[in-house]
Amino acid sequence: MAKKNKSKKVRVAFRKNRSKRVRESDFTRKFKKDELDHDQLTSGERVSGKGDISRKRTIHGVELVESDSGTTVHLEVDRTKCIAGRVLKVQGLVSEVMAEDEQVYHCATRRLLKTLATDQRHVVAAGDRVWIRTAVNNEGIIESVEPRYGVLSRASKNRQHVIVANVDQLLIITSAGQPTIKPNLIDRYIVTAEKAGIRPVICINKIDLVDPADLQPLAGVYGQMGYEVLLLSATDNIGIDRLRELLKDRESVLSGQSGVGKSTLLNAIEPGLQLRVAAVSSGTDKGRHTTTTAALVPLSTGGDVVDTPGIRQFQLWDVIPEEVAGYFRDIRPLINSCKFPNCSHTHENDCAVKHAVADGYLDTRRYESFCQIQAGEMEN
């Protein structure tokens, strides 16, 4: 019978994360009695974030939602026994959850959530809205994760690494020096933000180290496309009021290379935070990866902000080469004028994008960045 085969397939998927149960076990086991019988789950369909349509399936109280943001798993839970909360940070198998009662609980994740095989590296991420069942000593268990919006994710070893969920603003933090600015990285972040429906804001920190006039060409390119660009100095208190204003009453995340000053900026806008910061290595100008986990902090002005660890490289998650041009605001309006409908804007004749570069309407660096990102996604 077909059903039998299907459940077999599911069991195989389950086993993948069952094989090495190291520390998670004891705490989780206490709650296991309430879990569904896994063998009742009869979905043999592929569970993956790689689909351009959004679909939902419900199997015995388990709802799988596939969308551009990846696959999320929702369990029907008895909410009378749970309280709502927001994940502040995830450290290994334990998530810190700020619950409605204003207390912070250290939570394990219900095994069934992890068991349903998905492409995600972590089932729970900072910023997630969850339902938890509490136990003694401020411990708890995450019973279900609410549907996400505004997901900042990247690819990590072919899986989706959700950096943070439920944000409406991405502050792309770069520094004018120490380390030097990487415009291609900005463009990668923008593609991700555009795809996820998160508003990108380009922040150039450490402007005290350079003549700000030198930054005008780069800032101008982004400004012309309609992106907000902030020139900042956390140490010399330049632009900090504007940054504070921008974060007020919003859900934001700061991301960028290590050492660009993400944590220093947050300490500047919200005195008392005391996030750990460290000088970049002299000689290499590289950051020391001081922040090690994404952490959500509520702001006294209202809103929340997530400080994240510095990234070495930003591999795009689930972006196909054909869609890259659509996420470049300066290229998107041109592509309908290309001769070939499937133009890759690289080697074709009569390409409106290439004409725009030649005529000086499209920034050469942006075009090169586009080619690099598109080619990179082709390799994946």
Ligand X SMILES: Nc1nc2c(ncn2[C@@H]2O[C@H](COP(=O)(O)OP(=O)(O)OP(=O)(O)O)[C@@H](O)[C@H]2O)c(=O)[nH]1
Residue in 205, 252, 369, 374 binding ligand X, rule: CB under 6 A: 205
Which tokens in the block code for residue 307?
């400080």
The answer to whether the peptide bond before residue 179 is cis (omega within 30 degrees of 0) is yes
Closest CA to 174 of 145, 148, 139, 210: 210
Q: How far apart are the first and last CA of the chain?
A: 37
One of 110, 111, 195, 345 touching Zn ion (CB under 5 A): 345
In the list 47, 231, 280, 353, the residue contacting ligand X (rule: CB under 6 A) is: 280
> Which 223-252 residues touch ligand X, going by CB under 6 A?
233-235
81 binds, among Zn ion, ligand X, Mg ion, none (CB under 5 to 8 A by kind): none
Cβ-contact 280, 286 below 8 angstroms:
yes
Q: Which stretch binds Mg ion (CB under 5 A): 13-21, 65-73, 163-171, 291-299?
A: 291-299
Check residue 133 for interaction with ligand X (CB under 6 A): no
Of 284-343, binders to Zn ion (CB under 5 A) are 338, 343
CB of 364 to Zn ion, least distance (A): 15
| Interacting residues of 189 by C-beta distance below 8 A, sequence separation 6+ | 170, 172, 200, 255, 314
For ligand X, the binding residue among 43, 291, 344, 374 (CB under 6 A) is: 291
Q: Which of 64, 99, 204, 351 binds Zn ion (CB under 5 A)?
A: 351
Q: Does 118 bind Mg ion (CB under 5 A)?
A: no
Q: How far is the CB of 250 from Mg ion (least distance, A)?
A: 20
Give start and end residues of each alpha helix (H) in the chain: 2-18, 25-32, 111-115, 183-196, 216-224, 240-247, 262-269, 321-324, 352-358, 364-379
Report the relative pairing of strands 129-134 and 83-91 from DSSP bridges: antiparallel
User: Judged by CB under 6 A, which stretch of 10-18, 19-27, 279-287, 366-374 contacts ligand X?
Assistant: 279-287
Q: Could you say which of Zn ion, ligand X, Mg ion, none residue 351 binds, taking C-beta under 5 to 8 angstroms by partner kind?
A: Zn ion
CA 10/CA 209 separation, integer angstroms:
56
| Alpha helix positions (H), 216-301 | 216-224, 240-247, 262-269
Q: Which of 276, 280, 296 is nearest to 288 (CA)?
A: 280
Q: In the complex with ligand X, which residue's Cβ is closer, 70 or 261?
A: 261
DSSP 36-55: PPGGG----S---S--SS-E
Q: Does 259 bind ligand X (CB under 6 A)?
A: yes
Q: Minimum CB separation from ligand X for residue 256, in Å? A: 6
| Cβ-based nearer residue to ligand X, 295 or 343 | 295
Question: Does residue 263 touch Mg ion according to CB under 5 A?
Answer: yes
Please state the closest distance from residue 306 (CB atom) to ligand X, in A: 12
Distance from C-alpha of 73 to C-alpha of 56, rounded to nearest angstrom: 10
Does residue 263 interact with ligand X by CB under 6 A?
yes
Is residue 291 at the binding interface for Mg ion, with CB under 5 A as the rule? yes
Q: Is 294 exposed, middle or buried (0-12, 13-18, 19+ CB in 10 A)?
A: buried
Interface contacts to Mg ion, rule CB under 5 A: 262-263, 290-291
Interface contacts to ligand X, rule CB under 6 A: 205-206, 208-209, 233-235, 258-264, 277-280, 287-291, 309-310
